[in-house]
Amino acid sequence: MEKIGVVIVDDEPLARARLRGLLEGDTEISLIAECADGYEAVSVIRECAPDLIFLDVQMPEKGGFEVVEEIGVERMPVVIFVTAYDQYALEAFDVRALDYLLKPFDEKRFRETLRRAKAQIRSTQNGDLGQRMLSLMEELKRRPNYLERILIRTGGRLFFLKTAELDWIEAEGNYVRLHAGKGTFLLRETVNNLEAQLDPKDFLRIHRSTIVNINRIKEIQQMFHGEYRAVLADGTELTLSRNYREKLLRPDEKASQRIG
């Protein structure tokens, strides 16, 4: 029996290593390639035509869904999405029988997911799978799937941080630093991508490098030369950029109505 060609796509080296380790020893699997970003994934999929791809949903610049859109649903192999999305978003996967691995996942879950993927590949229903994936993509575009929790890796452990616990976020190159109470956590994500995933009712960009949870803002202070700063409940002071402050200070904005 011909082996199933597999590609792993994840921007985290440890995540790729874990998937690789779980696939080792499976005589039905041939690992074709590992990709660290969406751009590389598109190139490898087009060149190698794998049967199965483990595809991380959230990657800087080009995520898993963008990879699917660029390749085209009808030309995609069977996909196992690897994701930290909350259950609200995952309902769409369940309805359409597309499979996913929710980080952090255990070996039992992985084996069951792989078993179903193998059955799908061996069957003759790949065309139907493409239609279900297309339906999924369309629904995810329509639904405001804002993040409710973020997977954090720190000190050799994994845990979820609820977005409601965030006070503010600052950009650090291709990373962001999350401030939540007395803790700070570094996340490999751009501030632009993270902003797009946060509910605008609760989070507002006030500077090119700063996003704030508006529920944490205690007051807005006017400084010299028409400058402003936001003071959070814990005393943190954040500069309001001229390019963003109108969204916060405009009286008809919901955000400004909720401050104080």
Distance CA 93, CA 236 (A): 40
User: Which of 97, 116, 142 is a domain's end point?
Assistant: 142
For 89, the 3-state DSSP assignment is helix
186 and 154 belong to one structural domain: yes
- pLDDT at res. 256: 42
Residue 179 shares a structural domain with residue 221: yes
The domain spanning residue 223 has which CATH number?
Answer: 2.40.50.1020
Please say which residue of 126, 142, 158 terminates a domain: 142
> Pick from 65, 61, 54, 67: which is nearest to 15 by CA?
54
Residues of the chain with pLDDT under 50: 88-89, 92, 94-97, 251-260
One domain, residues 55 and 29: yes
The CATH number linked to 111 is: 3.40.50.2300
pLDDT at 260: 44
Among 97, 121, 142, residue at a domain's last position: 142
Same domain, 98 and 162: no
Nearest to 93 by CA among 49, 145, 15, 50: 145
Residue 105 near residue 77 (C-beta atoms within 8 A): no
Residues 126 and 24 reside in one and the same domain: yes
Do 67 and 166 lie in one domain? The reply is no
Q: Are residues 203 and 76 in the same domain?
A: no
The answer on 133 and 62 residing in a single domain is yes
Are 228 and 212 found together in one domain?
Answer: yes
- What's residue 88's pLDDT? 40
pLDDT for res 179: 97
- Overall domain count for the chain: 2
Residue reference for tokens 């999929």:
45
118 and 178 inside one domain: no
- Alpha-carbon dihedral sign for residues 205, 211, 215, 218: negative
- Does residue 132 sit in the same domain as residue 16? yes
Range of the domain at 159: 149-257
Is the backbone peptide bond immediately before 104 cis, with ω within 30 degrees of 0?
yes
Tell me, yes or no, whether 137 and 154 share the same domain: no
Could you give the CA distance from residue 200 to residue 182 in angstroms, rounded to a whole number?
24
